[in-house]
Chains A and B, each alone.
Chain A
Amino acid sequence: MKRLGTTTRWIVFAIAAFVMNFPVLATLITAFKAPGEVTRNPSLWIEQPTLENFAAVLTVSDRLNIYHYLWNSLAAATIGAVLPIALCFPIAWAMARRGTGRGVLFPLVVNLRAVPLIIFAIPLYMMYSALGLLDTRFGLGLILAVVNLPLALMLLVNAVSEIPLELEEAARMDGARLPRILTRIVLPLCRPAFVTTFVFGFITAWNEFLFGLMLTTQNAVPVTVGASFFFATSGGGVQWGMAAAVMIVAALPPLALGLIMYRRISWSMVTGAVKG
């Protein structure tokens, strides 16, 4: 009886995993099919596995330079992940220890999570075009940082409040001033939280699409948008094998990070949701 229950659970798990991951799985399989095979054999079975598509995608041509898109994504996502940590760390300490900004600033930032991003996209477009920030990796990174602010603030406030107060008090007894306490005691102890915040923010920023679509045209196009160009510009016939390979390459960095750190990712998602 017990054994039967366990078997059914495994079956349910297998079905759920297969159905929910089906698009990713099918894309992965298509990426290994030869160009001629894709439309002749759309099944999940590969007759002649080939690396041809990946070779084509990873070769620079005048139609596609994937390294350009990847570099844009990497640069913008790094800014978008690091900046929120730097901005939130000092005030996170004050919020956790002194309740500073708990009334207005904290809810304001946290509620940004629920605001439809398109609202900011239009005025930012106008502001960026006035400041010359349109189509720059820096400009894209700045707005990706806004997207990541809510979770960064929540995770860092959470991290600071878990540090034992005695450590700070002992340092204060020894005559250490606030800047010293923050950099020598609080900062090192927050390192795990920084890593979590960075990884989560990097994945979110890498996966962002709307701002990339609206605020970049050429120089700073991130890979999510670049991949969709590939579908649009290939005219009548999309080269499905290559398109699949582009998507796999574009999805790989966040997937690799996410799978390595899935415990932290899932933990921070839950924290973000419950505290918000």
Chain B
Amino acid sequence: MQNRERRENAVLASPLVLFLVAILGFPVILSVIYGFSETSFTTLTSPKFNGLDNFRRVLADQDFWQAVSFSLRFGVICAVAQCVLGLFLAVYLAPLIRRHGWMVAILIIPMIVAPAMMGLMYRLVLHEFAGPIPYYMYALFGWSPSFLNAQNVFTTVVVAETLQWTPFAFLLFLTAYQSIPQDLREAAAVDGTRPWRMFRKIELPLMAPTLFVALFIRFIDGFRVFDNIYTLVGAGPGGATTSMSIYIYEAFLRQGDIGRALAAAILLFGSAFLLLALAQLFMRRAT
């Protein structure tokens, strides 16, 4: 009996496991081999082992550290902005949404549009001759900043990312808010608790786990950002918007430096893994 169950389980697991081994197992092995070797596109079949050379080159590269700094700042600022806005919208609009469910559909549209498309759309919207935003800036203030120059581009991409993904945080908070038992609020209201105090003392603590999850997911997604920045400005003026993902992409396809790209990718994977492990440890402690 025991044996049969074990056999059955192996059969049930095999499609997924085999698929993972085939499509992710080989790449992992390849990454390790080439990450520690000297290769280019012309010498792909004969990688020459060179130890930690690639890693040394990555760590000595100033552009790499600029990309690390960009990704960290971008991830943190976007995550906080999205969670603050999303929390506000969810709590403030919840009474309306209870009666008009369709409002949710309108607010989640940005999430259903491909980030790459969103980046292209911002190119149009911000364009100095064809874009409505500069047009209205001129009409109203007689002046418009150039949104994509070295000075402003960071703010621009942060705002673009935040406006697209605030709906995600909003959705999480809305669900958490709606699942707070109604009688808890009623009991507090009977005791004469004012709305703001109710939010701070009762609702917010109950939503704290969601807040943490939302912050973490939004940080990770901001940290690994590629699509929308790439289609809007690419690496940016002077590499101003080179995220970790864009750095690796450029090293690989533009500069053909496979070893350095893979070493950077392995470092990125390591840091993502570490963050994930820390977050999960923290979650387990908290609950």
Which residue on A lies nearest to B97, using beta carbons?
Answer: A13
Neighbour of B19 across the interface among A87, A225, A270, CB < 8 A: A87
Q: Can you pick out 28 interface pairs between chain A and chain B where the beta carbons lie within 8 Å of each other?
A: A13-B96, A17-B107, A20-B107, A21-B106, A24-B113, A24-B121, A38-B130, A42-B127, A93-B12, A98-B5, A115-B272, A116-B224, A117-B245, A118-B226, A119-B266, A121-B249, A122-B262, A123-B262, A126-B30, A207-B116, A209-B114, A209-B116, A210-B226, A247-B121, A251-B113, A270-B171, A273-B213, A276-B217
- Say yes or no: B107 contacts A207, CB within 8 Å: no
Expressed in whole angstroms, the Cα–Cα distance for A21 and B103 within the complex equals: 13
B residues contacting A by CB (< 8 A) are 5, 8-9, 11-13, 15-17, 19-20, 23-24, 26-28, 30-31, 34, 44, 89, 92-93, 95-96, 101, 103-118, 120-125, 127, 129-132, 134-136, 139, 160, 163-164, 166-168, 171-172, 175, 210, 213-214, 217, 220, 223-224, 226-227, 230-231, 244-245, 248-249, 252-253, 258, 261-262, 265-266, 268-269, 272, 275-276
- Say yes or no: A207 contacts B113, CB within 8 Å: yes
Expressed in whole angstroms, the Cα–Cα distance for A120 and B249 within the complex equals: 11
Expressed in whole angstroms, the Cα–Cα distance for A265 and B167 within the complex equals: 12
Residues 118-156 of A at the B interface (beta carbon under 8 Å): 118-127, 142-143, 145-146, 149, 153
Chain B residues with CB under 8 Å of A65's CB are: none
Chain A residues with CB under 8 Å of B261's CB are: 122
Chain B residues with CB under 8 Å of A121's CB are: 249
Min CB gap B174→A, angstroms: 8
Given A87-B16, A240-B130, A243-B124, A269:B171 Cβ within 8 A: yes
Chain B residues with CB under 8 Å of A243's CB are: 120, 124
- Say yes or no: A209 contacts B213, CB within 8 Å: no
Given A20-B110, A209-B226, A120:B130 Cβ within 8 A: no
Neighbour of A269 across the interface among B44, B130, B168, B210, CB < 8 A: B168
Expressed in whole angstroms, the Cα–Cα distance for A94 and B26 within the complex equals: 26
- Say yes or no: B130 contacts A116, CB within 8 Å: no
Neighbour of A126 across the interface among B11, B44, B125, B230, CB < 8 A: B44
Min CB gap B260→A, angstroms: 11
A-B CB contacts (within 8 Å), total count: 257
- Say yes or no: A27 contacts B112, CB within 8 Å: no
Given A127-B30, A259-B109, A266-B171, A91:B249 Cβ within 8 A: no
> Closest 4 CB pairs between A and B?
A123-B27, A207-B114, A116-B224, A209-B116
- Say yes or no: A16 contacts B89, CB within 8 Å: yes
Expressed in whole angstroms, the Cα–Cα distance for A274 and B9 within the complex equals: 27
Chain B residues with CB under 8 Å of A269's CB are: 111, 168, 171-172
Neighbour of A206 across the interface among B114, B131, B167, CB < 8 A: B114
Interface centre among A117, A143, A207 (most CB of B within 10 A): A207
Given A26-B125, A114-B276, A209-B114, A90:B31 Cβ within 8 A: no
Interface size on A, residues (CB 8 A): 91
Given A105-B13, A146-B23, A42:B129 Cβ within 8 A: yes
CB of A234 closer than 8 Å to a CB of B? no
- Say yes or no: A39 contacts B129, CB within 8 Å: yes
- Say yes or no: B108 contacts A258, CB within 8 Å: yes
- Say yes or no: A120 contacts B24, CB within 8 Å: yes
Chain B residues with CB under 8 Å of A19's CB are: 163
Interface centre among B164, B223, B245 (most CB of A within 10 A): B245
Min CB gap B41→A, angstroms: 10
Which residue on B lies nearest to A108, using beta carbons?
Answer: B20
- Say yes or no: A255 contacts B113, CB within 8 Å: yes
Known pairs A23-B121, A265-B108. 13 more at Cβ < 8 A?
A9-B96, A20-B163, A27-B121, A30-B130, A94-B13, A114-B276, A116-B245, A119-B265, A122-B31, A127-B30, A145-B19, A247-B120, A250-B117
CB of A48 closer than 8 Å to a CB of B? no
CB of A214 closer than 8 Å to a CB of B? yes
Min CB gap B45→A, angstroms: 9
Expressed in whole angstroms, the Cα–Cα distance for A109 and B17 within the complex equals: 10
CB of A244 closer than 8 Å to a CB of B? yes
Given A10-B96, A127-B26, A273-B217, A21:B109 Cβ within 8 A: yes
- Say yes or no: A43 contacts B135, CB within 8 Å: yes
Expressed in whole angstroms, the Cα–Cα distance for A93 and B181 within the complex equals: 32
Chain B residues with CB under 8 Å of A149's CB are: 16
Chain A residues with CB under 8 Å of B118's CB are: 23
Expressed in whole angstroms, the Cα–Cα distance for A13 and B210 within the complex equals: 22
Given A105-B17, A228-B231, A203:B112 Cβ within 8 A: yes
Residues 18-53 of A at the B interface (beta carbon under 8 Å): 19-24, 26-27, 29-30, 38-39, 42-44
- Say yes or no: A86 contacts B15, CB within 8 Å: yes
Chain A residues with CB under 8 Å of B110's CB are: 20-21, 24
Neighbour of B112 across the interface among A39, A145, A265, CB < 8 A: A265
- Say yes or no: A228 contacts B120, CB within 8 Å: yes
Min CB gap B109→A, angstroms: 5
